[in-house]
Amino acid sequence: MTDSESLWAAEVFGHADLGDLRRTDRLREVAAAAARTPGGLVTEVMQTSATKEGAFRLLENSKVDPTKIAEAMAISTAHACREFARVHVALDQSAINVTDRHNLRGLGKVGDSRRTRGLQVMTALVLDAEGMPLGIGAMRWFSRPDAPTGWGEHDTRPVEDRESALWLDAIDDVARVFSEHAPDTKPWFQIDRGGDFWRVFDVVREHGFDVTVRASHDRVVDGKMRRSRLSKALKRSAVLGRMTLSRPKLGRIVLEVRARRVTMLMGDEGRPRRAFDLWVVQVREVAKPKDRERIMWKLLTTRPATTLADAVEVVRGYTMRWRVEEFHRTWKGGHCQLERSQLRSAGALMRWATILAAVATRVERLKQMSRTQGELSALHEFSQEEIDAAIFLSQTKKWKLGDVPTLHQVVDLIAQVGGYTGKSSGGPPGSKTIGRGMERIAPAAAMAAHLRRTSG
């Protein structure tokens, strides 16, 4: 009998073309082990000296291209998207920080500290219409040089050598894998202010996708009679109505909504600007909060927003971007603890990070599923042995071994094993308690599976 982690690893990484089938098999073994016992240190994840040695051989092998591991992950994600006409792609950049006191790992600059080095990574997290993580659609890596290279229009390097190329490359990667493996599914990119530059709109337009970007510049708008600034154009727009958002710790937020069609003039400094026909949706928090800044977003989008319902759809689509921030927390410092890694090279770190990215997405998906599709049978995501282990280790009296509770109920039991205390924890189970619980039930589930096999 195969456990759920092994089945998951085969599904996610079974498409990996690493030049040797033995490497692909090893990748699946390492990924399954990471899903059972996630951690930043390989020695904590792999349980025997033989599996530890095998994992290090895979991760430190220069013939194993990290982009091939990411591509396999992206293909499995595209397959999961085939049933949807549209998916959201939350695209965001983050820094992976690791301790490297003597600069021996070939990593780049990530801050002002000489002890901390790392890599920049662009991740495309794919979500369904309700914000359910479906997988990673692309990962792109970049190492910042120590010497300053300029910024924005003052950066004299070719576009493909700049850090901003991460956005464009990731979009191209998603386009390629979807065209090959999910051609009837259309991605809608959700991007924060870091991606507000004209080439993003240009490449998305070229692929025929939709995009929403939170504006960071008060751009020039080409009007019928004369040019003006975006902020002035919005002031002349009528209020369409109001909408509400709910966020953890912030509660219910009421927003005033405006929208209008604009022609944006964008381009590199010193060159003719290009015209982009877009819609801008502005939301402004009605009540001024006492302990934080008022929410005020200007969202540039290719999606028409002629009505309040259209504008609300754009805003809610943009909020899907929050999911990639939750993913980063789980991946880097939460359940997966990537930034504790002590691997010796940038290539090894990228390979390990990519595997752990899939694990972090799995945990985030399970968390969201338990909240939004909790009435599903627990067998949808878990083996009977894992369900029995959760029942046994949580010491619940509601179910007995062999029962099949709902997905929400089993996730709740798993979180209890991981330290979740119910209502006193301040909300539903989070990634940390779910992840810890999954780690703790894994040995018991493996033992139950072994006993079932040997007892006939």
Residue 163 to residue 165: CA distance in whole angstroms = 5
- pLDDT for the residue numbered 8: 92
Specify the pLDDT at position 159. Answer: 63
Rounded to whole angstroms, how far apart are CA atoms 208 and 386?
44
Q: What is the pLDDT of residue 144?
A: 81
- H or E stretch covering 117: strand 116-127
State phi, psi for 224 to the nearest 5 degrees: -65, -40
Q: CA-to-CA distance for 323 and 364, rounded, in angstroms?
A: 9
| pLDDT for position 112 | 64
Residue ranges of the chain with per-residue pLDDT less than 70: 1-2, 101-102, 104, 106, 111-115, 147-161, 223-226, 269-270, 423-426, 456
Indicate whether this model's pTM tops 0.75: yes
CA dist., res. 85 & res. 317, Å (int)? 15
Model pLDDT, residue 1: 39
How many whole angstroms separate alpha carbon 353 and alpha carbon 368? Answer: 22
pLDDT score for 160: 60
